[in-house]
């Protein structure tokens, strides 16, 4: 008996799911909105109980006027929906047949025109058409020619548009989706990375005068002063200008690596990091022999076009799962310099990557869209900035990632995609702790 009741409950649940799915798919074709239904119900009640029974002619005129407005707006919306569906369907077929628009090229967070036009319906009064992208997800602008700003990079095989035809009063509305089979290539927005300093992948050099000598050169590097540093190494000119104590540190003897292996780790908020990798590939910033692989790919490549395609596809495969296999394959090819593009937010990827960095010379590049340094703003600032645009990732979120990577021995740089500059002052305590730990190990 219990098995039969469980089967019946499961069957009823399945039926309710099917009914809910059917309602969600067909609800957009019902022409009346909640406001329209309310207006129609109020007009009918007023016509019945006040206009007819009480012979109130004012209510009679108002009720019939409201019903007439509701009727004509519904008729116009239905006619316009058929016309828009027909025009948009023909336009989609024509765009596919044109070879120059067969592949739509877009950039994230940037409005780009697609060559698609949504009918304006100027020949029907008091109607408007709104459109938005469902797949790939994007923000749309309906000003003549369609312009969209995708929110995620990737390669797509279709465009699924959601169109809404409605009257300006909000009484009638019909919504429907139209699919267009076309290839869409959405690359990460590069921002102002063209202004970023050119980085190089570095490995241990041979510019040391004696094989048993120290690999340190002249004291030309700078870092913040920590208690215990000799006073003779303090840079007093910088202190007089900025009121910050900086000390000179020896320069490491470094040369450019002849072989570079690069890997892109996908994760949360990784669009700026993907833009760094895409920019490096597009501007040929890898010197000499190099290979590249991104999350979601099982094959390394030396072709820049294929590498850029891997960057786009990595959005669907976050987590750094293939990083270990890539390192093992690269180690079989001999000594190399490791370049990693990492997201600014912790995740499963960092537990997979950090243990593999120990004992390696690795350069990690992280991309952000600004860093919010105010952790606890005042009440007045929170009120004034309520409607202000976001200032980027909180500094504590990025610092946790930088600290863990630097503790593993990696050199980490954070770039701001919006300004093209390197973000300074992150995890200074991590650098000091890491340096003191190596000093203790050497002692």
Interatomic CA distance for residues 443 and 441, integer angstroms: 5
Encoded tokens for 62: 């108002």
The single-letter DSSP state of residue 305 is H
Half-sphere CA count of 79, side-chain side, radius 13 A: 11
Query: Which pLDDT does position 220 carry in this prediction?
Result: 58
Query: Which pLDDT does position 350 carry in this prediction?
Result: 92
Ranges of residues in the chain with a pLDDT under 70 are: 1-4, 7, 11, 17-28, 92-102, 142-144, 196-220, 228, 250-258, 287, 372-393, 424-443
Query: Which pLDDT does position 425 carry in this prediction?
Result: 62
Query: Which pLDDT does position 216 carry in this prediction?
Result: 46
Query: Which pLDDT does position 439 carry in this prediction?
Result: 35
Which alpha helices (H) appear in 98-131, and where do they start and end? none
Query: Residue 63: phi, psi to the nearest 5?
Result: -65, -45
Query: Which pLDDT does position 260 carry in this prediction?
Result: 86
- Sign for the CA dihedral angle at 384, 386, 390, 393 comes to positive
Cα–Cα distance list, 282 to 6, 194, 267, 278, 307 (Å): 59, 11, 22, 6, 10
Query: Of the candidates 369, 263, 383, which has an alpha carbon nearest to the alpha carbon of residue 324?
Result: 263
Encoded tokens for 79: 């006619």
pTM above 0.85, yes or no: no
């Amino acid at each position: 008996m219990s098995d039969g009741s469980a089967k019946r409950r499961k069957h009823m649940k399945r039926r309710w799911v099917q009914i809910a799915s059917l309602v969600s798919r067909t609800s957009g074709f019902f022409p009346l909105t909640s406001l329209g239904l309310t207006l129609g119900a109020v007009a009918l009640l007023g016509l019945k109980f006040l206009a007819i029974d009480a012979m109130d002619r004012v209510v009679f005129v108002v009720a019939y006027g409201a019903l007439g407005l509701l009727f004509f707006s519904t008729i116009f919306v239905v006619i316009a929906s058929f016309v828009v569906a027909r025009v948009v369907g023909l336009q989609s077929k024509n765009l596919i047949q044109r070879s120059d628009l067969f592949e739509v090229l877009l950039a994230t967070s940037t409005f780009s025109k697609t060559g698609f036009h949504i009918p304006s319906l100027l020949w029907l009064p008091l109607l408007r058409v709104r459109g938005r992208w469902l797949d790939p997800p994007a923000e749309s602008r309906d000003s003549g020619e369609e312009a969209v700003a995708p929110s995620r990079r990737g390669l797509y095989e279709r465009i699924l548009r959601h169109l809404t035809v409605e009257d300006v009063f909000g009484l009638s509305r019909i919504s429907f989706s139209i699919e267009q089979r076309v290839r869409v290539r959405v690359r990460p927005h590069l921002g102002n990375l063209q202004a970023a300093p050119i980085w190089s992948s570095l490995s241990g050099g041979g510019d040391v005068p004696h094989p048993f000598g120290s690999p340190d050169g002249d004291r030309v590097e700078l870092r913040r002063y920590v208690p215990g540093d000799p006073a003779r190494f303090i840079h007093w000119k910088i202190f007089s200008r900025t009121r910050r104590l900086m000390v000179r540190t020896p320069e490491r003897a470094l040369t450019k690596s002849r072989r570079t292996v690069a890997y892109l780790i996908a994760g949360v908020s990784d669009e700026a990091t993907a833009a760094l990798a895409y920019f490096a590939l597009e501007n040929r910033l890898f010197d000499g022999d190099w290979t590249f692989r991104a999350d979601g790919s099982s094959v390394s490549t030396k072709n820049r076009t294929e590498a850029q395609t891997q960057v786009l596809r990595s959005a669907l495969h976050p987590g750094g799962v293939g990083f270990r296999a890539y390192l093992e394959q690269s180690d079989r090819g001999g000594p190399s310099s490791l370049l990693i593009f990492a997201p600014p937010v912790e995740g499963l990827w960092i537990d997979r990557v950090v243990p593999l960095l120990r004992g390696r010379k690795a350069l990690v590049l992280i991309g952000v869209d600004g860093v919010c340094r105010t952790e606890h703003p005042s009440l007045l600032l929170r009120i004034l900035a309520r409607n202000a645009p976001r200032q980027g990732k909180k500094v504590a979120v990025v610092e946790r990632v930088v600290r863990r990577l630097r503790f593993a021995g990696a050199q980490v740089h954070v770039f701001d995609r919006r300004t093209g500059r390197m973000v300074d002052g992150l995890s200074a305590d991590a650098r000091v702790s890491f340096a003191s730990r190596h000093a203790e190990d050497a002692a």
